[in-house]
């Protein structure tokens, strides 16, 4: 009789463990949607010292600063549709996917493109912005490359980009380029150009424009359509990153994104770009 009782207890224990393993949790369960981003990628996101700078600016968790930009505005609309609060965590670009997979954040909302490589480790929502970004190269005003008009003009130039980004993958399109070590953020890239450690770095036009507005000794080099970088469809799409195990969140965020029209998205981006010109 005792043996039978023990067997029942063990069976119940195993059943309970199986249920625990099969049960799924979601970033929506606690009523707080924790998003991760750099807060350093204008116009998608940037850091400001005052919430008054933008109507959608949100306090950065564990910081006295605020984050605003297109990503924040869209995230707040999604959260409103899902009836949850938003928490903003600022982190390095390379730390975003690991943070998502280890549960530090629920969602990556950071102007990220859903590349095939990234899809191997995380899921992506439907697009929340599609653009035809113009990729440029930022150089010093006194650079010999300042009058360049095509990629081939950068033959033998020392060019780099931010690690883990689309721009890093574009370096190889420059024939004869002397690629330098990829750097962790745009602050490092700007400083390296100023110090003449590198000749230039690749950036999206909107981002580069903010850099040269704040650094008068830098300029950006643009290219004609047939003489510049070639981008794929996935390069021009921006989506939110979701943990592969959180199918509920993926479904609900996609549903919320459908409630934001393309016209509304364009209007938000235009307002953000105008405000970004005056960010601190």
Q: 252-275: per-residue pLDDT in tens? A: 999 999 999 999 999 999 898 887
According to the model, what pLDDT value does residue 120 have?
A: 96
According to the model, what pLDDT value does residue 30 have?
A: 92
According to the model, what pLDDT value does residue 239 have?
A: 97
Under the banding of pLDDT at 50, 70 and 90, the label for residue 235 is confident
Residue 206 pLDDT more than 60?
Answer: yes
The sign of the dihedral angle between the CA atoms of 244, 98, 240, 201 is negative
Residue 1 pLDDT more than 80?
Answer: no
Residue scoring higher pLDDT (80 or 7): 80
Residue 43 pLDDT more than 90?
Answer: no
According to the model, what pLDDT value does residue 53 have?
A: 57
Query: Average model confidence (pLDDT) for the chain?
Result: 88
**Mean pLDDT, range 99-107, rounded to an integer:** 97
Rounded Cα distance, 200 and 140, in Å: 8
According to the model, what pLDDT value does residue 151 have?
A: 97
Rounded Cα distance, 209 and 114, in Å: 24
Under the banding of pLDDT at 50, 70 and 90, the label for residue 225 is confident
pTM: 0.78
According to the model, what pLDDT value does residue 16 have?
A: 43
């Amino acid at each position: 009789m005792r043996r039978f009782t023990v067997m029942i207890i063990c069976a119940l224990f195993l059943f309970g463990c199986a249920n625990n393993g099969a049960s799924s949790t979601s970033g929506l369960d606690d009523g707080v949607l924790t998003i991760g981003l750099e807060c350093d990628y204008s116009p998608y996101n940037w850091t400001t010292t005052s919430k008054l700078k933008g109507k959608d600016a949100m306090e950065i968790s564990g910081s006295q600063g605020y984050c605003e930009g297109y990503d924040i505005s869209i995230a707040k609309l999604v959260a409103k549709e899902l009836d949850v609060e938003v928490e903003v965590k600022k982190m390095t670009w390379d730390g975003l996917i690991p943070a998502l997979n280890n549960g530090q954040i629920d969602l990556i909302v950071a102007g990220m493109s859903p590349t095939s490589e990234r899809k191997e480790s995380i899921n992506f929502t439907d697009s929340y912005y599609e653009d035809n970004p113009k990729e440029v190269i930022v150089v010093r005003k006194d650079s010999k490359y300042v009058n360049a008009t095509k990629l081939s003009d950068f033959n033998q130039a020392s060019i780099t980009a931010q690690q883990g980004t689309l721009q890093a993958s574009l370096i190889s399109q420059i024939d004869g380029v002397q690629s330098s070590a990829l750097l962790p953020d745009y602050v490092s890239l700007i400083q390296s150009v100023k110090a003449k450690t590198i000749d230039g770095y690749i950036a999206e036009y909107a981002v580069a424009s903010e850099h040269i507005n704040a650094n008068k000794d830098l300029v950006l080099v643009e290219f004609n359509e047939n003489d510049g970088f070639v981008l794929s469809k996935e390069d021009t799409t921006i989506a939110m990153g979701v943990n592969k195990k959180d199918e509920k969140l993926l479904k609900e965020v996609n549903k919320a994104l459908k409630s934001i029209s393309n016209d509304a998205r364009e209007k938000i981006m235009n307002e953000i770009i105008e405000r970004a010109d005056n960010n601190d």
